[in-house]
Amino acid sequence: MTTFYVTDDACTHGPGSLSEGFQEDHIIECDFHGGCFDIRDGQVTAPPCMEPIKTYKVVPHDTAVVIEST
Ligand code: FES
């Protein structure tokens, strides 16, 4: 079963775009200064980042997935 995770693209430390970073397992690394986040809950896993990124709930819907925005 495939699991989807959705987060904001913007790094909370600066101008980094996380979609241009590097992902391994559940950790995404910003390519600007190497800060890391857990894509499951947005928590910081490596400095220099201090603030978590926003994550969104993903709901399977027929052959698509729906992202719940709050
Ligand atoms: S801008 Fe992402 S770690 Fe600095």
Each domain of the chain, given as residue ranges in start order, spans: 6-68
30 CB within 6 A, ligand 1:
yes
* C-beta pairs of 59-66 under 8 Å, 24+ apart in sequence: 65/4
Check: CB of residue 10 under 8 Å from CB of residue 17.
Answer: yes
Confidence (pTM)? 0.91
What is the 11 CA–ligand 1 centroid distance (Å)? 6
| Sign for the pseudo-dihedral over CA of 22, 50, 46, 55 | negative
Domain 6-68 has CATH 2.102.10.10: yes
Mean pLDDT in residue range 17-24 = 97
pLDDT at 48 over 80: yes
Q: Could you give the strand order of the β-sheet that contains 6-7, starting from the edge strand earlier in sequence?
A: 6-7, 55-61, 64-68
What is the 69 CA–ligand 1 centroid distance (Å)? 24
